[in-house]
């Protein structure tokens, strides 16, 4: 499986790994997130690495092993976000790449920016060489189906580097997209530069995904260091 998994990530930029977490583990983390007094946005909850239960899950051997298959033995989690799509919080996401990284401090450097601050954490859009050190593990807390706004990806686009919005749009009209239909308890592993989107949900069934990002090093170049978020 390791060879096939690494090949899928290298060529397509994503892979779905079934049965990573048990149903009991999923119910446990869902319950913890529901019980916690967490600041929610319309789309979910960001900066969850400060939550002890989420941090503990991010360091589970089964998740670390997947990240380290891609990034090497030093991979560690640095950011976690809950995406909670439901009838009361329903949205669509246009085609894009994930290029913003949380940083310990602001330092002007070539290829970095624009800069912003989100809930007290400094962010900058990063160059390709920094994003190549990152992989995301999307832990599915519900079944992701054709009806509840699944992630859509354009395979292989992670190899094209950081693209402009116009380039992303053009590729979305030229290449075939794939719907990522992922069962509860499975993990979708993806590179941040993979072009992706999602549509609005067409059902009352929730689609909750815990999106955990891992990096091979705290150093992302140009004397810049990742912040834990």
Query: Which tens digit of pLDDT belongs to each residue from 153-211?
Result: 999 999 999 999 999 999 999 999 999 999 999 999 999 999 999 988 888 888 899 99
Mean pLDDT of 1-29: 93
User: How would CATH label the architecture of 2-215?
Assistant: Sandwich (2.60)
Domain boundaries, the chain: 2-215
If DSSP states are collapsed to H, E and C, what string results for 39-52?
A: CCCCCEECCHHHCH
Instruction: Please report the pLDDT score of residue 38 as a whole number.
Output: 74
pLDDT > 90 in the chain, percent = 82
Mean pLDDT of 66-90: 90
Which range is least confidently modeled, 2-11, 47-56, 87-96?
87-96
Where would I find the H helices in 115-158? 128-131
How many angstroms separate the CA atoms of 154 and 177, rounded? 5
Q: What are the φ and ψ backbone dihedral angles of 77, each rounded to 5 degrees?
A: -80, 140
pLDDT the model gives residue 202 = 84
- Residue with token string 């310990």: 104
Mean pLDDT of 70-96: 88
Instruction: Label residues 103-124 b or e (16+ Cβ within 10 Å = b).
Output: beeeeebeebeeeeeeeebbbb
Tokens of 78: 């640095």
pLDDT at 11 over 80: yes
Alpha helices in 96-228 (DSSP H): 128-131, 165-174
For the chain, give the mean pLDDT.
93
What is the per-residue pLDDT across 102-128, written as a single tens digit (0 to 9) for each?
999 999 999 999 999 999 999 999 999
- Which secondary-structure segment (H or E) carries 155? none
Quote the pLDDT of residue 85: 79
Model confidence pTM above 0.85:
yes
- Which range in 89-93, 121-125, 147-151 is most confidently predicted, on average pLDDT? 121-125
For residue 1, is pLDDT > 60? no
Q: Is the pLDDT of residue 41 over 90?
A: no
List the end-to-end C-alpha distance of the chain, in Å, as a whole number: 31
- Note the residue count of the chain: 229
Contact 99, 125 (CB under 8 A): yes
Q: Percent of the chain at pLDDT above 70?
A: 95
116 strand-pairing partners: 123
Both structure tokens of 24: 């009991």
**Per-residue DSSP letter, 72:** -
Categorize the per-residue pLDDT at 87 as very low, low, confident or very high, splitting at 50, 70 and 90.
Answer: low
């Amino acid at each position: 499986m390791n060879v096939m998994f690494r090949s899928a990530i290298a060529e397509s930029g994503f892979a779905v790994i079934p049965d990573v977490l048990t149903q009991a583990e999923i119910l446990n983390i869902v319950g913890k997130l529901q019980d916690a007094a967490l600041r929610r946005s319309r789309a979910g909850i960001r900066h969850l690495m400060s939550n002890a239960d989420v941090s503990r899950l991010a360091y589970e051997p089964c998740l670390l092993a997947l990240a380290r298959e891609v990034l090497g033995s030093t991979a560690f989690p640095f950011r976690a976000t809950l995406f909670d799509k439901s009838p009361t919080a329903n949205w669509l996401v246009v085609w894009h790449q994930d290029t913003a990284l949380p940083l310990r401090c602001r330092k002007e450097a070539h290829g970095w920016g624009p800069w912003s601050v989100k809930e007290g954490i400094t962010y900058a859009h990063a160059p390709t060489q920094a994003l190549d050190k990152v992989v995301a593990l999307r832990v599915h807390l519900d079944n992701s189906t054709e009806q509840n706004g699944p992630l859509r990806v354009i395979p292989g686009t992670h190899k094209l580097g950081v693209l402009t919005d116009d380039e992303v749009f053009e590729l979305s009209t030229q290449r075939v997209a794939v719907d990522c239909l992922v069962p509860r308890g499975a993990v979708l592993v993806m590179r941040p530069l993979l072009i992706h989107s999602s549509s609005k949900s067409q059902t009352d069934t929730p689609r909750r995904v815990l999106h955990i990002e891992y990096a091979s090093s705290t150093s992302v170049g140009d004397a810049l260091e990742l912040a834990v978020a």
